[in-house]
Amino acid sequence: MSLTANRWWIYQRERFPVIAHGLLIAAFSVSAMGFSSLLRGQSHLPPLATLAAGFCSSFLFFLQLRITDEFKDYDDDTRYRPYRPVQRGLVRLQELARVGLGAAAVQLILALLVDVRLVPILVGVWAYLALMTKEFFVRDWLKRHPIVYMMSHMLIMPCIDLYVTAFDWLHAGSPPPRGLAWFLVVSFCNGIVVEIGRKIRAPQDEEHGVETYSVLWGGRNAVLAWLAAMVFTAGAALLAAHYIHFVVQDALILAVLLTMATLIAVSFIRLPQTARARHIEMMSGLWTLLMYTSLGAAPFLLRAL
């Protein structure tokens, strides 16, 4: 492996694990398009080419989110996290900018190939992403209000979701189907679940200057907030499931997941150790994978059995 390829491999391993992220993004994108198709009364998933294009566009959005984080967090990372790839010189911001622009070019090509009417929505998501990168031009104020900061950044999730679902409903020549709004709410709430879950740490793992939610709110409160976000997500998911006649099945899946999450949360509150904090992050990923799958893919799979 060449030196250039090796350093990019290291970067993805540390900052954007392709396989782990790819599985979650695949569940997110396929389920989004599948849910839209179900709302339109279809009995099958969208064509494979459409699913692939939606997944690729979605994957590149999440890559762009990682890249924009490198830019907006550069000063803080340089000061408090000099071990990160950009800070230690493994890759440069200019290189990441080129990757982000290349990703945008691919997204535009895919939109033009699938349906030119996707382009205005794509530009709208790019615009919101650009505002996020600039911290909406109120960086200091947002830093003083962490809940508003989190929510303003999590709004990118339903924006991406709306775009990905449009690969189904807009390409089919229909307006956004009734009930889609609840899936967008699910995306927003689930973004909060993942965001809080990945920023809960054991006391001995906290880093000076790094504002995790376990630092801002205390470990117990952070875990309770994580659970509360799951409950809100589950409620929105059940309302979404109502529109595709999948409430009972979805409720069973979510009940099992919430039980698992509660046990993990109680375990961490009782003894906040490194391994138990990792369990919270892992549970966030499992929750995302199964929760999205239960809405957009599982109904088709069950009908095929």
The DSSP string of 123-139 is HHHHHHHHHHHTGGG-H
Q: Is 155 helix (H, G, I), strand (E, B) or coil?
A: coil
Return the pLDDT at 44. 86
pLDDT category, 305, cuts 50, 70, 90?
A: low
Return the pLDDT at 1. 56
Mean pLDDT for all residues in the chain: 93
Cβ atoms of 187 and 157 within 8 Å: the answer is yes
Q: Give domain 1-137+156-167's CATH architecture.
A: Orthogonal Bundle (1.10)
The predicted model gives 4-26 an average pLDDT of: 91
Return the pLDDT at 85. 93
Cβ atoms of 233 and 186 within 8 Å: the answer is yes
pLDDT over 80 at 39, yes or no: yes
For residue range 92-108, list pLDDT tens digits in order.
Answer: 999 999 999 999 999 99
Calculate what percentage of the chain has a pLDDT beyond 90. Answer: 87
**Exposed e or buried b for every residue in 268-296, given b needs 16+ CB within 10 A?**
beeebeeebbebbbebbbebbbbbbbbbb
Return the pLDDT at 2. 63
Lowest mean pLDDT among 17-31, 54-68, 117-131: 17-31
Helices (H), the chain: 3-15, 18-39, 48-72, 74-80, 93-114, 119-133, 139-144, 146-154, 156-169, 180-197, 213-216, 219-242, 247-270, 274-296, 298-304
pTM: 0.92
CA 53 to CA 165: how far, in whole Å?
11
CA 51 to CA 199: how far, in whole Å?
31
CA nearest 160: which of 191, 204, 200?
Answer: 191
CA 238 to CA 36: how far, in whole Å?
15
Lowest mean pLDDT among 137-141, 187-191, 237-241: 137-141
Q: Where are the domains of the chain?
A: 1-137+156-167, 178-305
pLDDT over 80 at 116, yes or no: yes
pLDDT category, 201, cuts 50, 70, 90?
A: very high
Cβ atoms of 232 and 189 within 8 Å: the answer is yes
For residue range 260-287, list pLDDT tens digits in order.
Answer: 999 999 999 999 999 999 999 999 999 9
How far lies 200's CA from each of 42, 113, 132, 167, 220, in Å? 41, 42, 23, 35, 10
How far lies 100's CA from each of 59, 106, 219, 271, in Å? 12, 10, 35, 41
Residue 46: DSSP 8-state: P
Return the pLDDT at 3. 61
Q: What is the dihedral of CA 16, 19, 25, 28, to 10 degrees?
A: -140
